[in-house]
């Protein structure tokens, strides 16, 4: 248990300005904690072994086109006891779900107020998991054709991660409720091709209907409705901070 020697929190971010800002923010709240700063995910991976931090805060999760992703994968696989929190823009919502799904402990949106950030981090350090209301309702399905871009992420930890980008793209549209014909039109391929892909997808996921596949995909964060989170929840300004 290493007693209460010198608890450390690791901050991973390549931009030193931003990294320092976060360290200062956190230090105000946790004066007794030593902060380990890493400017890359590779540095983080090598450092996490030596100093076993009680928390890892990873900024710009999607930076460097998935490089930090691999790093996170390594960390999550080998040091599962370290709570990992991602800080990123709300646009990358599905990335968050994937990460949470893979073992991360929290996802924080950049634009959140600093108080909220701190509270979330405390929650995670207490062993909880935190993610902003992801299962939010969203009835407008939107035109599935507009889903074109992939935007998905390997999806560590689930069989979905073993799918090719193309198949994940198709699975995403299936999860969005699009029929094969629409998917085919959106991808400019023949419907048979979509079906052909789906056969592989079903086999990979171990299901035999599109609804079951959509179910798994949604649980992994793919094709979530409009990912229009309530993240920053500026809806109910509580007049003033309490404590």
Partner DNA sequence: CGTGCGATCCTTCTTTAGGATGAGCCGCAC
Partner DNA sequence: GTGCGGCTCATCCTAAAGAAGGATCGCACG
Chain contacts with DNA (rule: CB under 7 A): 164-167, 179-181, 187, 189-190, 192-193, 195-200, 202, 208-211
Comparing CB distances to DNA, the nearer of 78 and 166 is 166
d(CA 242, CA 15): 33
The item of DNA, its own copies, none sharing an interface with residue 219, based on CB under 5 to 8 Å by kind, is its own copies
Residues 92-131 interacting with its own copies (rule: CB under 8 A): 97, 100-101, 105, 112-113, 115-116, 119-120, 122-123, 125-131
Comparing CB distances to DNA, the nearer of 25 and 143 is 143
What pairs with residue 59 in β-bridges? 87
The item of DNA, its own copies, none sharing an interface with residue 89, based on CB under 5 to 8 Å by kind, is none
Least distance CB 98 / its own copies (angstroms):
10
d(CA 69, CA 16): 20
Asked whether position 142 contacts its own copies by CB under 8 A, the answer is no
The item of DNA, its own copies, none sharing an interface with residue 214, based on CB under 5 to 8 Å by kind, is its own copies
Asked whether position 243 contacts its own copies by CB under 8 A, the answer is yes
Tell me which H or E stretch contains 34.
Answer: strand 34-38
The item of its own copies, DNA, none sharing an interface with residue 150, based on CB under 5 to 8 Å by kind, is none
Side-chain-side CA neighbours of 60 within 13 Å: the count stands at 18
Residue 42's region, left for phi above 0, alpha for psi from -120 to 50, else beta, is alpha
Count of residues in contact with its own copies, rule CB under 8 A: 79
d(CA 104, CA 84): 5
Decide if 84 contacts 59 (C-beta within 8 A). no
Candidates 40-48, 64-72, 154-162, 188-196; binding stretch for its own copies (CB under 8 A): 154-162
Q: Say which residue the tokens 């179910």 belong to.
A: 215
Comparing CB distances to DNA, the nearer of 19 and 210 is 210
Asked whether position 191 contacts its own copies by CB under 8 A, the answer is no
Give the dihedral sign, CA 85/89/90/94. Answer: negative
Q: Which of 18, 21, 43, 54 binds its own copies (CB under 8 A)?
A: 54
Decide if 87 contacts 58 (C-beta within 8 A). yes
205 Cα distance to chain centroid? 21
Comparing CB distances to DNA, the nearer of 6 and 162 is 162
Candidates 41-49, 64-72, 168-176, 188-196; binding stretch for its own copies (CB under 8 A): 168-176
Q: Are strands 84-88 and 106-109 parallel, antiparallel or unpaired?
A: parallel
Tell me which H or E stretch contains 88.
Answer: strand 84-88
The item of DNA, its own copies, none sharing an interface with residue 55, based on CB under 5 to 8 Å by kind, is its own copies
């Amino acid at each position: 248990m290493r007693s209460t020697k010198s608890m450390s929190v690791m901050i991973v971010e390549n931009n030193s300005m931003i990294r320092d800002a976060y360290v200062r923010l956190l230090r105000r709240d946790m004066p007794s904690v030593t902060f380990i700063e890493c400017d890359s995910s590779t540095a983080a991976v090598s450092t996490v072994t030596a100093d076993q931090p009680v928390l890892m805060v990873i900024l710009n999760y999607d930076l460097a086109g998935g490089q930090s992703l691999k790093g996170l994968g390594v960390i999550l696989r080998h040091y599962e006891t370290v709570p990992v929190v991602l800080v990123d823009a709300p646009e990358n919502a599905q990335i968050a779900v994937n990460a949470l799904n893979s073992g991360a402990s929290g996802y924080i949106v950049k634009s959140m107020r600093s108080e909220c950030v701190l509270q979330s981090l405390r929650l995670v350090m207490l062993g909880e998991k935190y993610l902003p209301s992801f299962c939010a309702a969203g009835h407008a399905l939107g035109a599935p054709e507009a889903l074109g871009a992939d935007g998905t992420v390997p999806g560590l930890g689930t069989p979905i991660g073993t799918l090719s980008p193309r198949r994940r793209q198709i699975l995403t549209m299936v999860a969005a409720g699009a029929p094969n014909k629409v998917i085919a039109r959106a991808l400019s391929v023949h419907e048979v091709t979509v079906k052909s892909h789906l056969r592989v997808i079903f086999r990979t996921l171990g299901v035999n209907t599109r609804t079951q596949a959509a179910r798994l995909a949604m649980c992994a964060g793919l094709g979530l409705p409009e990912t229009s989170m309530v993240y920053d929840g500026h809806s109910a300004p509580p007049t003033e901070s309490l404590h």
